[in-house]
Amino acid sequence: MGEHPSPGPAVAACAEAERIEELEPEAEEPLPAAPEDFDPGNTGFISTGKFRSLLESHSSELDPHKREVLLALADSQADGQICYQNFVNLMSNKRSNSFRQAILQGNRRLCSKALLEEKGLNLSQRLIRHVAYETLPREIDRKWYYDSYTCCPPPWFMITVTLLEVAFFLYNGVSLDQFVLQVTHPRYLKNALVYHPQLRAQAWRYLTYIFMHAGVEHLGLNVVLQLLVGVPLEMVHGATRIGLLYVAGVVAGSLAVSVADMTAPVVGSSGGVYALVSAHLANIVMNWSGMKCQFKLLRMAVGLICMSMEFGRAVWLRFHPSAYPPCPHPSFVAHLGGVAVGITLGVVVLRNYEQRLQDQWLWWIFATMYAIFVLFAIFWNIFAYTLLDLKLPPPP
């Protein structure tokens, strides 16, 4: 698809100035004089002419990048007036993080050409630029990420989790002497990592089940999606945020199974993988015009097809005659738990690059919903199995 030109500095400054939030303090900047000195009518607005004169008189005291952004803000006002409070907010560091990033860039001007147009980049620079365009919808954020990324620390979380999953699968494959559809082996559920409804009091199983996969076909797709989607997301948003999202999807998956498919075990990392992929796809859809990754529609279609195929495989396996009756094969509900986390918590994480999540009211709403679900599932696991007089399969 063709690339759209990035907005000019005036448009970018105006758009960013509308999102104001309190940030950590920076070095003190000179504040303007009292409004009555250049707002005799006490209207709360300053004419752009007086505003420019004020900037010129303080030009030696202002950071040049901040002065450029303020001048761009003046250029964006078609009515010739600037809100005085917005000006004070900018000068006293009450502004969005993206705005702050634009001001603090050392060698890159707000009005410079789009990052995609830059030539002469080496391989690592092209990779970082590619990741920026894959994950971030705003040019100002892409430039900030490109300038500030140092690969220290590297995306260790997703790589470590993936290596552990492969290592456990190989060990299990050797011990069972089976790699394809391992889950059909009579001894498969005896592993201490698998979530089993009869052993649900062993709390570690709600998390460790991700290291057990139904077979090489199950592991392969999860590993590919983790590396292709999870690693770039971690490069941009960091191990803490992506790790939190991944683990939240994993836990939500096993708890969802314990509530909705009470007699079935759970294996595989699909809960965490589906949380990441669904959050990424939802972020692309919600910021469609801003996302500049190539072949967006085709790649979204491929991603959805892969997710649907894996989900279809899980549904088929769940209802296939079990290799260890009366216990059924592993549940597919964990996939749905991961998707629910991705389109709620995940979207908030990915939409707020370099901004504090605790300042986002949607974050608190979805975090509260997640906490309520976890508490509900805990009480369900304690009381519901007894109250419903459910006959569970014997422990493996």
Q: Among all residues, which ones are annotated catalytic?
A: 270, 335
Q: Which residues contact 288 (CB under 8 A, 6 or more apart)?
A: 296
396 touches 189 (CB < 8 A): yes
145 φ, ψ (degrees, to nearest 5): -65, -45
Tell me which residue of 129, 114, 135, 127 sits closest to 296, measured CA to CA: 135
| Rounded-to-integer distance, Cα 161 and Cα 222, Å | 11
50 touches 35 (CB < 8 A): no
Largest CA-CA distance found in the chain, in angstroms, rounded: 86
| Rounded-to-integer distance, Cα 99 and Cα 144, Å | 10
Q: Which two tokens stand for residue 352?
A: 């707020």
146 touches 124 (CB < 8 A): no
Tokens 């969005």 correspond to 96
289 touches 373 (CB < 8 A): no
245 touches 267 (CB < 8 A): no
Q: At what angle do helices 156-176 and 216-225 cross, to 10 degrees?
A: 170
| Rounded-to-integer distance, Cα 275 and Cα 336, Å | 9
If phi over 0 gives left and psi between -120 and 50 gives alpha, with beta otherwise, what is residue 336?
A: alpha
Question: Is 378 in a helix, a strand, or coil?
Answer: helix
Per residue, what are the HEC states of 113-176?
A: CCHHHCCCCCHHHHHHHHHHHHHCCCHHHHHHHHHHCCCCCCCHHHHHHHHHHHHHHHHHHHHH
214 touches 299 (CB < 8 A): no
